[in-house]
């Protein structure tokens, strides 16, 4: 499909330009258009974006420098056996790439991001910096209350720095906007799973990632436009293997790597790239009847945000999987999406993803689902080996139904 004939091409080009905008020009433009408003960076994996939007703050998901930032200063802060994203993030901070941001939030993803929060506080003392401790117990009176306190704290701290006070009305609007976006992201995922030739993984990636820097309403409009065009874009099915990618929820693979996988005979019908935008499964349950969630109440918008995480957070390596069977969520997803295999793609030295992997592999093996695994770094430049591995995997799935 050439760019001339593809009605989606302009939107995709815009989304790619946003990804390549390492100096966050869109964020600066937003701030210029909204004088006095704050923009706050959010490290992977998850922080609830509607909370920020409700107080007039632009939440900006930060995914490190990818393969386009030369890491020089950042390497002086990290030993060789630590993943790449914190060093490129520091490089960007020291290099002025993140100057448009008024601060950063570091969710409790792993020890590296946790410690980075303290480093940030010291390296950028003039900026806001906060650690968001997401609960690992999900009962409303325990983790629920604690998380609500965390969200109130962050809202209050940002209000002290010039954000609007958190009100129920504002949060309701932000939740409604977010739910609308979530609906479209779900439509995008459904279309991609049904007709992967219509929405390639790299395209879904770009479109989702645009939401990292755009206000919710703008991102929603972009998704809506894309979906309208995607249904009519001229394209045709390929004889590819339907594959789910898992493990790339924090440090992102280079776009080139995703495209390489696409060219290796795999339709990547689902993934956990940039999981932050899709952590919650379904809507934020505002005013829904969720049964007894006391002392929380989904009629309160803040409680609804809390419950969306405690009750609807996706099973992922950074979330404690209480009594459920590890890997079951993935196996269920493979079945429901009619996937033929799984690619486990983890950043090198990523503790959560790599510690999870043996359990996930076991669950896949037990369910007789073919899988292959590899590691990458955000600045990987050589994709040939991975292409060969993925190619061999797709061939073997096609031939034998197993890797």
Partner 1 sequence: MNTQTAETQRGTAAPVRADAAAKDASQNRQKEMLAAYFEKLTRAKEAGQKIVYTFVPGNLNELIGAAGMMNVLPEINALQSGMRGRSGGYITEAEKAGHSEDVCTYVKCDIGMMLNGNIGPTGTKLPEPDLLLLSYTGCFTFMKWFELLREHYKCPVAMLHVPYQPEGRITPDMKQYIVDQLEKSIIPALEKVSGRKLDREDLARRMALSAQAEDDLVAVWESAKHKPSPIDGYFGGVYYIGPIFSAFRGTEDAVAYYRELRSEVEARMALGLGPVGPDGPIGPERHRLVVEGPPNWTSFFDFWRMFSRENAVVCASTYTRVGGLYDLGFRHDYRDPLASLAEYCLGCYTNLGLPSRINLLEKYIKEYEADGFLINSVKSCNSFSAGQLLILQELEKRTGVPGGFIESDLVDPRYFGKANIDNRLQSYFQMLDARKARGYV
Q: x/- site string to ligand SF4, residues 18 to 57, per CB under 6 A? A: --------------------------x-------------
Q: What DSSP character marks residue 127?
A: S
Helix pair angle (9-20, 201-210), 10° resolution: 60
Assess contact for 87 and 78: CB atoms under 8 A.
yes
Q: Which of 105, 112, 210, 241 binds ligand SF4 (CB under 6 A)?
A: 112
For residue 303, give the nearest of 168, 176, 182 by alpha carbon.
Answer: 168
Residue 83 in contact with ligand SF4, rule: CB under 6 A: yes
Sheet containing 39-42: give its strands across.
58-61, 39-42, 103-107, 128-132
Please confirm whether the linkage preceding 316 is cis (ω < 30° from 0).
no
In the complex with ligand SF4, the residue whose CB is nearer, 83 or 98, is 83
Residue 207 in contact with ligand SF4, rule: CB under 6 A: no
Q: Which of 81, 160, 294, 384 binds partner 1 (CB under 8 A)?
A: 81
d(CA 336, CA 351): 28
Min dist. Cβ of residue 133 to partner 1 (A): 5
Assess contact for 358 and 258: CB atoms under 8 A.
no
CA distances from 224 to 59, 147, 180, 182, 204 (A): 21, 32, 10, 11, 13
Residue 85 touches which member of partner 1, ligand SF4, none, C-beta under 5-8 Å by kind: ligand SF4
For residue 257, give the nearest of 352, 379, 354 by alpha carbon.
Answer: 379
Q: Which stretch binds ligand SF4 (CB under 6 A): 12-20, 80-88, 127-135, 156-164?
A: 80-88
In the complex with ligand SF4, the residue whose CB is nearer, 113 or 311, is 113
Residue 250 touches which member of partner 1, ligand SF4, none, C-beta under 5-8 Å by kind: ligand SF4
Residue 109 in contact with ligand SF4, rule: CB under 6 A: yes
Strands (E), 172-282: 241-246, 266-270
Which tokens belong to 67? Answer: 């393969």
Residue 251 in contact with ligand SF4, rule: CB under 6 A: yes
In the complex with ligand SF4, the residue whose CB is nearer, 199 or 345, is 345
Residue 118 touches which member of ligand SF4, partner 1, none, C-beta under 5-8 Å by kind: partner 1
Q: Which of 139, 168, 287, 332 binds partner 1 (CB under 8 A)?
A: 139
For residue 214, give the nearest of 1, 39, 358 by alpha carbon.
Answer: 39
Q: Which stretch binds partner 1 (CB under 8 A): 14-22, 70-78, 160-168, 209-217?
A: 70-78
Min dist. Cβ of residue 345 to ligand SF4 (A): 12
Q: What are phi and psi of 269, to 5 degrees?
A: -85, -10
* Residue that has been written with the tokens 């992977």 in this structure: 44
Q: Rule CB under 6 A: which residues touch ligand SF4?
A: 44, 83, 85-86, 109-110, 112-113, 250-251, 347, 350-353
Give me the residues that bind partner 1 (CB under 8 A), please. Answer: 76-79, 81-82, 86, 108, 110-112, 114-119, 121-123, 130-131, 133, 135-137, 139, 141-143, 145-146, 149, 317-318, 320-322, 326, 346, 348-352, 354-359, 361-362, 375
């Amino acid at each position: 499909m050439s760019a001339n004939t593809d009605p989606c091409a302009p939107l995709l080009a815009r989304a790619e330009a946003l990804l390549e905008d390492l100096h966050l020009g869109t964020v600066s433009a937003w701030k210029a258009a909204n004088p006095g408003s704050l923009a706050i960076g959010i490290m992977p994996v998850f922080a609830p974006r509607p909370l920020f939007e409700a107080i007039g703050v632009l939440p900006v998901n930060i995914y490190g420098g990818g393969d386009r930032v030369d890491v020089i200063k950042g390497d002086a802060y990290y030993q060789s056996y630590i993943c790449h994203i914190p060093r490129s993030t520091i490089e960007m901070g020291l290099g002025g790439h993140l100057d448009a941001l008024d601060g950063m939030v570091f969710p409790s993803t792993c020890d590296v991001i946790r410690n980075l929060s303290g480093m940030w506080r010291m390296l950028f003392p003039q900026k806001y910096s906060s650690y968001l401790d997401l609960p690992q117990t999900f009962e409303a009176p325990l983790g629920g209350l604690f998380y609500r306190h965390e969200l109130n704290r962050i809202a209050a701290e940002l209000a002290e720095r010039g954000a609007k006070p958190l009100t129920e009305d504002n949060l309701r609007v932000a939740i409604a906007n977010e739910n609308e976006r979530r609906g479209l992201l779900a439509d995008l995922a459904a279309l991609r799973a049904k007709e992967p030739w219509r929405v390639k993984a790299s395209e879904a990636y770009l479109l989702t990632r645009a939401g990292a820097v755009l206000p919710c309403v703008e991102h929603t409009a972009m998704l809506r436009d894309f979906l309208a065009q995607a249904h009519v874009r001229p394209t045709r099915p390929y004889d590819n293997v339907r594959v789910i990618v898992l493990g790339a929820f924090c440090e992102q693979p280079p776009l080139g790597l995703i495209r390489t996988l696409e060219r290796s005979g795999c339709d990547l019908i689902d993934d956990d790239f940039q999981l932050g935008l899709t952590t919650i499964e379904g809507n934020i349950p505002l005013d829904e009847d969720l049964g007894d969630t006391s002392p929380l109440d989904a009629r309160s918008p803040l409680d609804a945000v809390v419950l969306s995480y405690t009750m609807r957070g996706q099973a992922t390596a950074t979330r404690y999987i209480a009594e459920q069977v590890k890997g079951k969520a993935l196996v269920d997803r493979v079945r429901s999406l009619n996937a033929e295999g799984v690619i486990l793609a983890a950043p090198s030295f990523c503790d959560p993803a790599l510690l999870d992997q043996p359990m996930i592999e076991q669950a896949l093996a037990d369910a007789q689902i073919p899988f292959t695994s590899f590691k990458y770094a955000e600045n990987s430049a050589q994709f040939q080996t991975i292409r060969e591995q993925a190619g061999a995997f797709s061939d073997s799935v096609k031939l034998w139904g197993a890797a």
